[in-house]
Amino acid sequence: MAIDWHQYRCKGYFDELFEAPGIARPAARTLVEHLAQMSASELSERRIAAELAIKIMGVTFTVYSEGRNVDRSWPFDIIPRTIGRAEWERTERGLQQRATALNHFIQDIYGPQKIVRDKVFPGSLLKESANFRKQCIGMKPRNGVWAHICGSDLVRDGDGTLYVLEDNLRVPSGVSYMVENRLVTKRVFPELFQNSTILPVDDYPAQLYDMLAAMSPRPGNRPSIVLLTPGIFNSAYFEHSWLAQQMGIELVQGSDLFVGDDDIVYMRTIYGPKRVDVIYRRIDDLFLDPEVFHKDSILGVAGLMRAWLKNKVALVNAPGAGVADDKVVYAFVPEMIRYYLGEDAILPNVPSYLCMRKRDRDHVLANLDKLVVKPANESGGYGMMIGPRASKKEREKFADLIQANPRNYMAQPTLSLSTAPTLADGAIEPRHLDLRPFILSRGDSVYVTTGGLTRVAMTKGSLVVNSSQGGGAKDTWIVDLDGEPEVLTVNTQSQAQSQTAPAVAKTPRSARKRRAA
């Protein structure tokens, strides 16, 4: 039997592929038409093919469990998530605007702090900021860029509004999986790339290399660029090695580098020391330099901060950029955009309550069963409480935590996260998802990936999309549509039932040359 899309129920949520049962959104029409002609067994075969491709390609992630590091194959759903190009272009502008304002903010915070003096941003937040680095005060990185790479998480609410949920500015990860998702989808559904204009994503390594090269303190020379990894036991080590390989740069650990008496960073090679111009670091600030931060760190390089402060080497992202990677600071980004750029934010924040404010705190404590409570500087979905699904004991625990340290907590309404059809347990069911595009800033331009990493809560009803907590991923298609959008009505009769009935009824549209992603 062919897939009966009329049986697919969005259950009151905004669905990324369907407006209503059997009624596809314009960007999803070709995909839905194709899937409507496939049987459950055919879909299962494609899913197995995807799992095999992931194993052959060696796409893994690491889960820390009970003191052990466990490598697992990347969890992947074969049904892509689709977005129209016109909508994406607006999203892209919003992300460029946001990244620009955030870099202005970080430079200002480590400089004159005008935004504090003008009482747009409370200086008291810096005193208890876990990621404000006083060692960075007065530093001016090349082109004024601190957060060269940003992964901003986007979510869509029940009415279709797209919100920025948070900004990841320290060592954002996941971009390798975005590209690998596309490669797997091409293997599983090669025919779809002949019939749809799906914008490509495979230029990211080249864009990243160009941005890194532009940060070199020795312009005009071919820069020496390395990727600094904590090592093979890090959960993102697959991505570290993948990016280094794709860019053709050295993958190094702290022991491979040293800082000379001239405050220049060198890499140890079989031919002798080689100067390093740019370090794409995937190590947290506090482990970068034992002379400045954790004295017992063996992951970083002694003297690295000294070399960076003297502009002898570029560090990407810059130390201290995490001051804006704070869920409390996040609430002020719309004000930052108005203050630094004189514009209204294109992409809104999720409405937020800051527990450091008494009125907000009282509201949060009175409504813990309705809100999502987050600590300011955790990541990966850890340390948060989803009120409607928390026990009374959990809510009481968070009430105590908030009272003890109001600055460290903020809360947001429980959003009705959008869904998309997902192949789960042999059936197609809606699952909640988010989207993490990646933004590269180099000072003179801001690049945004075409789409991003769509993360899916593979467990029915769950809102947690992180792979470390049971989430998976989908390929993200930015689809270039022809002419005016049209509504697609799926005819779910199989060809065996009706040889004359078309699989899809739609209005005619002009033909155009297709470009494969």
Single-letter amino acid, residue 299 = L
pTM: 0.89
- CA–CA dist 496, 321 (Å, integer): 60
Helix, strand, coil percentages, rounded to 5, for the chain:
35, 25, 45
Residue 378 pLDDT: 77
User: Quick check: is 288 in a domain?
Assistant: yes
Kindly list the distances between the CA atom of residue 130 and the CA atoms of 126, 375, 381, 406, in Å, as whole numbers in the listed order: 8, 11, 18, 14
Q: How many distinct structural domains can be found in the chain?
A: 2
Residue 127 pLDDT: 87
Residue 406 and residue 355 in one domain = yes
Q: What token pair was written down for 496?
A: 């065996």
Residue 492 pLDDT: 39
Residue 464 pLDDT: 76
Residue 64 pLDDT: 56
Q: In a 3-state reduction of DSSP, which class is residue 402?
A: helix
Of 286, 312, 338, the domain-final residue: 312
Contact 381, 435 (CB under 8 A): no
Write the CATH number for 377. 3.30.1490.270
User: Quick check: is 402 in a domain?
Assistant: yes
Residue 289 and residue 365 in one domain = no
Instruction: Work out the number of other CB atoms within 10 angstroms of the CB of residue 294.
Output: 15
pLDDT digits (tens, 9 = 90+) for 182-205: 999 999 999 988 877 899 999 999
User: Quick check: is 264 in a domain?
Assistant: yes
Write the CATH number for 259. 3.40.50.11290
Residue 223 and residue 304 in one domain = yes
Residue 306 and residue 363 in one domain = no
User: Quick check: is 105 in a domain?
Assistant: no
User: Quick check: is 167 in a domain?
Assistant: no
Which regions in the chain score pLDDT beneath 70?
1, 61-71, 379-381, 467-470, 482-517
Find the domain containing 360 and state its range: 351-414
Q: What token pair was written down for 251?
A: 């993958």
Of 281, 312, 343, the domain-final residue: 312
Residues with Cβ within 8 Å of residue 241, at least 6 apart in sequence: 229, 251
